[in-house]
Structure 1
Amino acid sequence: MAQKQALAEPSDPASPAAARVVPPLDPAYLERPRIASDVRVHRPSEEGQPWIIQRGTAGYFRVQPDLARLVQALDGTRDHRALVDLLGAPWTTADVAKALHTLAGARVLDDGAERPKRDRRLRFVPPLTVQFTVLRPERLLSRMSPLLARLANRGVAVAALVCALGGLLALALMAPALTAALGAPLPLAAYAGILGGVLATTAVHEFSHGALLTYYGGRPSRMGVMLFYLSPAFFCDVSDGWRLGRREQRVRVALAGIAAQAVVAGVAALSCLFLSASTLREAVLVFALASYVSGLVNLLPLVKLDGYIALMSHLDLPHLRDRSMTDGRRFLSRLLFGGRYVRELPELRWSVPYGLACLAFPLYLIGSAVALWAGLLQRIGEFGAAAVCAVLCYVGYRLWRGARRLVREARAAGAPLWRVALAGTLAAAAVAAALMLVSVPYRLSGGYVTGSDGRVELVLPTSADMGAVRAGEPVALYRAGVMTRSRSGSATVQDPHATSTTAPISAFTPVSGDLLSLPASGVRLRVDAAPADRTGAAVLDTGRRTLAVWCYDTYLAPVWRW
């Protein structure tokens, strides 16, 4: 389970990132302007730092001192002439009018509309993130400030580092036990304990972001849960960190959660040195490794995880990812369509490859999430299968929007229409050729069950493509664990005619015990090498199919296969 900081990156109010498409402001509100009720102006915490204009809990703008003075003067009693008199040279009425239109576009000015006192708890963040605010931790963390001050010392930091590194050494020393734990099914109670530990560690992770921000004088606005590219995750909004004067403070806030998570993982791994071989030790080993891996994933700077926020804070470049993706998109446009483009980040030589990686990585995340959840959703019925199709349709829509944006930028940069049409035709032809000519293995995943008479039966979900099952096709039998699996036997299909049956959950998931049975389709197997376990995972190899047929059979056909 991933953790993510919800961060609103500061902008210039005149930048496209700062403004949305909003109705024009009534001229009456521009004659004697006032700032909106949810707007605050923050002085720089250190000499030479920019002023910050905060709009609500999610809008932050870096501005120069002159513009900050103008915003502070907007109390609704002064017209443009009075503002010029107050601000003095070099301000003119034309400058004031231009600045006010910019501020209006950034929704900094009062437009007569009632602003919500609190932000919505449920938010959708494109392209595929849904956030739900559970807690507003500012008051709680403020009360904990004395404790935070006591913990912020070098001794605690050294102890934390020893725990984190010591845990890694403990996992290395216990490699055989760790390998066995990852490759064997565990009882349901063990998974419940691991899940509870992960949830508790995630809470510590998020509170660590907020705690360090509070220690430096900031205010975390909200914490909650979310679906991050179809994967469950947690977040802590540390947008107020942009008011911190020093970039190293913002980097520490970004990495605080990973550091806390590594300490918890280290303590868990070290405790295994004192536990005897048991299910408890296996569960703690799995939990420790999962916590370390989650911390490493959070260091990735390709999506808005902790690693990206730390990198952006270190470079002090707001919207680093978005601007790099713009450079990457423009590089592709120039390569495909021609034209002249201006780079967003010419000072960063690596912005183009970084931007291209940021464009591609979300597709990998979505593909991984679909591969992980599709089978489970399709097993629950027509609704689950339709949900998978809906997600894939949305992904296709986002890809279409991305392609349209690429073409629009190319045309705006002077790319000739004939070249755009030619590149689009070639791209469509390449996709069609891949769908029709590229063949991929088509496998059915399920489980096996050994009956009391010794016969082994292949069990598949009721949504499986039973028409693909033929006599004599090979079936690989596995012992599946929480993260790895090992080959435990082999068989072939003896009778392709399926019968309706039930199978223990241990045949479909790496859970030991037969606490629950699920409906399934059973197929008789001829065993070549008998597995030691009574139940386990099975994969039926039905040959190869073109990519188009594979996509249809895997994701579309299950909708009406029920």
Structure 2
Amino acid sequence: MNPAIAAADQPPPADKPLDRPAVNAAPRVRLRTDLQATPTYHQGRRYWLVRDPLARQVVRLSESDYQQLQHLEDADPQLIAEAAEQQLLQGVPQSRRGGSRSGINPFYLRLPGIDPERILSWLVPRTRWLFSKPAIAFWMAVIGLAIAVVLTQVRQFSQALPSFHAFFGPQNWLPLAITIIVTKVVHELSHGVVCRQFGARCPEIGVLLLCGTPCMYCDVTDSWSLPNRWQRAAVMLAGVYVEAILAAVATLIWWSSRVGPVHFGCMNLMFVCGVSTLLFNLNPLMRFDGYYVLSDLVNVPNLRSQAAAAWRSSIVAPLAGDAFRDAIPWRPRGARWLVLFHAASTAWRWMAVVAIASWVIAVADTARLLPLGYLAASGLIVAAVLPMFLKLFRVARGDDAWKGVNRMRRAVLIGAAIAAVVVLFVVPLPRRIAATGVVDYADAATLYVRSGGRVDRVDVEFGQRVAEGEAVVQLESPQLLHEQIQLVSQSAEAGVRVASLRRRALSNPELMDQWDSEQATADRLQQRVEFLQRQVQQLTICSTTAGIVLPMIDPDRVAKVSLRELTGQHLAEGTKLCRVGDPHRLEVVLELDAEARALIDTGSRVRIRFDQNGIGVVESRVDSISEIREGEMQAAVHGAEKFRIICKLPDATSALAGTRVSAKVTAPPETLAHRVARGWRETF
């Protein structure tokens, strides 16, 4: 059990009156009695790790600083100010406390958890083998094998991966959510298990909200009391180690399995345990496992707060002046690299907020819930920006360390910050519109069934060359032929009646009206006969151009291998039979929402990505644009207005007709203010 830090100043006896302190005397303060201190050694020097059980953080103190805080009447005022900044003191006026911890961090909201003691007591003896040296060596070999398979077959892996819409579509939301919950529970329990194996305590496990996203956490602050640095690193990396095992096994199973539930389940594991681990858990710029390992390696507990203090000392203080510099704690050692760390971590957090907001919008778009996606992304951005404005408000009011700073200087700094934000909103930013589509034959003619009937004969086959006007398929329609024979007979009879009435009307004028009526009937019958003759002629489907006979492109259906498969089938009027054109001249047909029509013109640049055949990205331009009409592709919602654009592919592109593609169409630059206004209009 770590010894509690004893209070430095004991209260005087009750019968002795308190002396009134001098006006300039230091305030009477003491160390908090609930703090716990543990000695540790680094490069032969003794340090003290002071654990705050309320804030769940550890502060590193040198031997001299620790001894001074035991006797605050002789302590350096700058050291007292730093201790107040770290909230290690009690009895400190609010104005002496640092303002960096006030408020709630919207990026990191920690909810109350539970005591995992019973769970860990059951798990530790049953999972000890997993963290033994032989097991670690074995699993490192498996992880290396999985990485080698991916690196040596990158093209095949890229072909087999699904598109963004397929992976993050509504059909995968529940499996992906289950995967995330299970893996993160295992991740956090791994921290607790290793922490318990080394003798440290894990008092709490629960849920936190990271950028609004629920995540698990495990309080292993006591691991800082472990004397061995490698043991502390092992505790921090235990979750990453287990997730790497899951990712490696999932990769090998996914690569060797067929498409099915197991295949897609392994793919979810690969994403959650592989990609997310690299971007978040091992990233030292975010307050996860990699951050704590780096903090231990450089021997700087509370690395983020130390870096923020270095930023205030090195960057903010020269701008704010001597009054601000005198009001903040002393400059941490090694402040230069701490300043760079603070700048990098802040930039990364903002990149993460923007990336998560964009991801939320894209996922909402896959479910056709774009207004809801804009609303959620806007809430995330507002939660991120609001603390900045609150800080500016405290600066304007002169709170905390800004109290002694000249009002004009504060106004200039606030104006510069606001101007930077305004510039960010008014500078045009590149814009690309996402689209999906298929590869098709360029300028190929489509042969339609113009008169329904049964396929009697197929004269050519896919891949054969035909001349213009050459017969391709012969249909037969007994009903149409029977109707034609009847109408020809009726037309002939009507012609005989008309001739007879004409001769009789010459001698009897009263028959002129009857003759006109019969003539009109005969004309109608003749028109019908001519129409049926054209219908019978159209039973012979002929090529409208010279070229190669090509199959119809429909990525949602299995393509026909042979035209002769149609023999004996009844084809309705309007059925698309085949194409005739050049199989080496290809184009991409993309479908977009009608709102984007005003932003795209012929000649606009298009980046086309082939996700399934290893071609990669192909640059092209918009060749033609269709009229706005109801969407026809599978991804289109019934009744949604769409339009299509056609982009020619280079002759050297080895794509297959019918291949699905995704694309980014370059639109005119747009300011962030316009994007926010457009999102507001689309949402409300």
Task: State TM-score, norm by structure 2.
Answer: 0.56
Deviation of 1:366 (Å): 0.7
Q: Superposition pairs for residues 23-38 of structure 1, below 5 Å?
A: none
Would you say the 8 A contact 2:425–2:672 is kept in 1? yes
Supply the distance in 2 between the matched residues of 1:49 and 1:204 (Cα, whole angstroms): 34
Secondary structure of the residue that 2:625 maps to in structure 1?
strand
Aligned to 1:146: 125
Secondary structure of the residue that 2:284 maps to in structure 1?
coil
Would you say the 8 A contact 2:191–2:238 is kept in 1? yes
Q: Deviations over 1:10-59 (max 9, x none)?
A: x9999xxxxxxxxxxxxxxxxxxxx99xx696887999775866646947
Secondary structure of the residue that 2:301 maps to in structure 1?
coil
Deviation of 1:168 (Å): 1.6
Q: Deviations over 1:248-307 (max 9, x none)?
A: 32222111111222222233344567x267566687467446633333322221121101
Segments of 5+ residues of structure 1 without an aligned counterpart are 1-10, 15-34, 69-89, 110-123, 508-516
Q: Deviations over 1:372-395 (max 9, x none)?
A: 113444752655433333332332
Q: Which amino acid aligns with 1:549?
A: H
Q: Which amino acid aligns with 1:359?
A: T
Secondary structure of the residue that 1:556 maps to in structure 2?
helix
Supply the distance in 2 between the matched residues of 1:12 and 1:551 (Cα, whole angstroms): 53
CA shift in 2, pair 1:503/1:229, >3 Å = farther
- The partner residue of 1:333 within 307, 311, 316 is 316
Supply the distance in 1 between the matched residues of 2:72 and 2:344 (Cα, whole angstroms): 46
Secondary structure of the residue that 1:204 maps to in structure 2?
helix
2:512 is the counterpart of 1:388: no
Aligned to 2:591: 458
Aligned to 2:683: 559
Aligned to 1:356: 343
2:445 is the counterpart of 1:321: no
Supply the distance in 2 between the matched residues of 1:321 and 1:205 (Cα, whole angstroms): 23
Q: Deviations over 1:410-451 (max 9, x none)?
A: 974965544443444445445445544x32333333434887
Q: Which amino acid aligns with 1:447?
A: T
Q: Which amino acid aligns with 2:359?
A: L
- The partner residue of 2:230 within 244, 248, 251 is 248
Q: Deviations over 1:66-102 (max 9, x none)?
A: xx9xxxxxxxxxxxxxxxxxxxxx999999xxx9xx9
Secondary structure of the residue that 2:431 maps to in structure 1?
strand
Aligned to 2:196: 214
Supply the distance in 2 between the matched residues of 1:327 and 1:389 (Cα, whole angstroms): 32
Aligned to 1:19: none
Aligned to 1:81: none
2:499 is the counterpart of 1:369: no
Supply the distance in 2 between the matched residues of 1:433 and 1:107 (Cα, whole angstroms): 41
Q: Which amino acid aligns with 2:355?
A: S
Deviation of 1:211 (Å): 0.5
Q: Which amino acid aligns with 2:160?
A: A
Q: Which amino acid aligns with 1:532?
A: A
2:291 is the counterpart of 1:171: no
Aligned to 1:262: 244
User: In percent, how many aligned pairs have the same letter?
Assistant: 20
Deviation of 1:484 (Å): 11
- Tell me whether 393-402 or 288-297 shows the greater mean CA deviation: 288-297
2:139 is the counterpart of 1:156: no
2:411 is the counterpart of 1:421: yes
Aligned to 2:559: none
Aligned to 1:26: none
Q: Which amino acid aligns with 2:146?
A: G
CA shift in 2, pair 1:433/1:206, >3 Å = closer
Would you say the 8 A contact 2:60–2:301 is kept in 1? no
Secondary structure of the residue that 1:211 maps to in structure 2?
helix
Q: Deviations over 1:310-342 (max 9, x none)?
A: 122334433221121221133222454443736
2:668 is the counterpart of 1:543: yes
Secondary structure of the residue that 1:218 maps to in structure 2?
coil
Supply the distance in 2 between the matched residues of 1:457 and 1:216 (Cα, whole angstroms): 58
Supply the distance in 1 between the matched residues of 2:249 and 2:308 (Cα, whole angstroms): 39
Deviation of 1:156 (Å): 2.2
CA shift in 2, pair 1:64/1:175, >3 Å = closer
Supply the distance in 2 between the matched residues of 1:456 and 1:287 (Cα, whole angstroms): 34
Segments of 5+ residues of structure 2 without an aligned counterpart are 8-31, 91-102, 439-552, 555-574, 580-587, 650-654
2:642 is the counterpart of 1:522: yes
Supply the distance in 1 between the matched residues of 2:682 and 2:311 (Cα, whole angstroms): 37
- Tell me whether 405-414 or 391-400 shows the greater mean CA deviation: 405-414
Supply the distance in 2 between the matched residues of 1:13 and 1:547 (Cα, whole angstroms): 55
CA shift in 2, pair 1:164/1:399, >3 Å = same
Supply the distance in 1 between the matched residues of 2:253 and 2:372 (Cα, whole angstroms): 44
Supply the distance in 2 between the matched residues of 1:397 and 1:177 (Cα, whole angstroms): 45
CA shift in 2, pair 1:406/1:485, >3 Å = farther
CA shift in 2, pair 1:326/1:413, >3 Å = farther
Deviation of 1:247 (Å): 3.7
- Tell me whether 358-367 or 200-209 shows the greater mean CA deviation: 200-209
Please give the root-mean-square deviation of Cα atoms over the aligned residues, in Å. Answer: 5.1
Q: Which amino acid aligns with 1:324?
A: A
Would you say the 8 A contact 1:55–1:108 is kept in 2? no
- Which one has a bigger Cα radius of gyration? 2
Aligned to 2:293: 310
- The partner residue of 1:239 within 221, 227, 236 is 221
Secondary structure of the residue that 1:220 maps to in structure 2?
coil
Would you say the 8 A contact 1:129–1:228 is kept in 2? yes
Aligned to 1:205: 187
- Tell me whether 359-368 or 55-64 shows the greater mean CA deviation: 55-64
CA shift in 2, pair 1:146/1:546, >3 Å = closer
Supply the distance in 1 between the matched residues of 2:52 and 2:334 (Cα, whole angstroms): 28
Secondary structure of the residue that 2:640 maps to in structure 1?
strand
Would you say the 8 A contact 1:466–1:498 is kept in 2? no
Q: Deviations over 1:138-195 (max 9, x none)?
A: 2111123333445553222322322222322222233232121236557988887676
Would you say the 8 A contact 1:167–1:268 is kept in 2? no
Supply the distance in 2 between the matched residues of 1:228 and 1:422 (Cα, whole angstroms): 34
Deviation of 1:472 (Å): 3.8
Aligned to 2:278: 296
Secondary structure of the residue that 1:445 maps to in structure 2?
strand
Supply the distance in 1 between the matched residues of 2:297 and 2:140 (Cα, whole angstroms): 22
CA shift in 2, pair 1:155/1:380, >3 Å = same
Q: Deviations over 1:111-133 (max 9, x none)?
A: xxxxxxxxxxxxx9613134456
Secondary structure of the residue that 1:350 maps to in structure 2?
helix
Q: Which amino acid aligns with 1:520?
A: A
Would you say the 8 A contact 2:361–2:370 is kept in 1? no
- The partner residue of 2:657 within 529, 532, 557 is 532
Secondary structure of the residue that 2:436 maps to in structure 1?
strand
Would you say the 8 A contact 2:310–2:338 is kept in 1? yes
Task: State TM-score, norm by structure 1.
Answer: 0.66
Supply the distance in 1 between the matched residues of 2:190 and 2:615 (Cα, whole angstroms): 32
Q: Which amino acid aligns with 1:558?
A: E
CA shift in 2, pair 1:492/1:403, >3 Å = farther
Aligned to 2:625: 494
Secondary structure of the residue that 1:304 maps to in structure 2?
coil
